[in-house]
Amino acid sequence: MVGKSNVGKSSLINAVLNRKGVARVSQTPGKTQAVQFYLVNEKFYLVDLPGYGYAKVPKSMSRSWGELVRGYLENAPELRAIFLLLDSRRTPGEHDRQMHQWARDLDGVAEKIVLTKSDKLSNNELAVSRRAIAKELEIGESELIAASTVTKKGMEQIRREIHTRL
């Protein structure tokens, strides 16, 4: 799981696993400052990568996170899928586009884009947002998974994507 510091990675991990408190959720963006591994049912790891962008940390630390994330992505032989989390209310920023490109460049690794916080948009607003994000990333709208940790929308689809790669 990778995305901006305030996109809801920890909340999504908890929702996908259907357990509260597995991944620590904070009101302050940027709390995840290392690669966090969660062993699920003794079968696979769900990995929470440090966020990028909004975190209130020194720029030197933010740059080192980018190096850490890129190093992990390029040197994790067991990596099967990257879930790039984007806020459904925002168009992808420079860091999002860079992460999307990194994910696309990896051989044998599926990229799934999850639009978080979709409950905060009406159905019409979400449809408009999906089109804009798909266009920005040059992908089909069907490649986007709309998700909400509040309503649990998209959680089953994410679980299926994970299961498919096991």
Contact in structure between 106 and 74 (CB atoms under 8 Å):
yes
Residue 108 belongs to domain with CATH number: 3.40.50.300
Q: What is the pLDDT of residues 26-46, one digit of tens each?
A: 555 555 567 889 999 999 999
Q: What is the pLDDT of residues 65-96, one digit of tens each?
A: 677 778 888 888 899 999 999 999 999 999 89
- How many domains, the chain? 1
Contact in structure between 36 and 23 (CB atoms under 8 Å):
yes
pTM: 0.88
pLDDT for the residue 17: 93
pLDDT for the residue 51: 81
Q: What mean pLDDT comes out for the span 139-148?
A: 96
Q: What is the pLDDT of residues 43-68, one digit of tens each?
A: 999 999 888 765 555 555 556 667 77
Question: What does the alpha-carbon distance between residue 38 and residue 44 come to, in Å, rounded to a whole number?
Answer: 8
- Tokens at residue 65, please? 């996170």
Contact in structure between 82 and 111 (CB atoms under 8 Å):
yes
pLDDT for the residue 65: 67
Q: Which domain holds residue 116?
A: 2-165
DSSP string, 50-76: PPBSS--S-HHHHHHHHHHHHHHHHT-
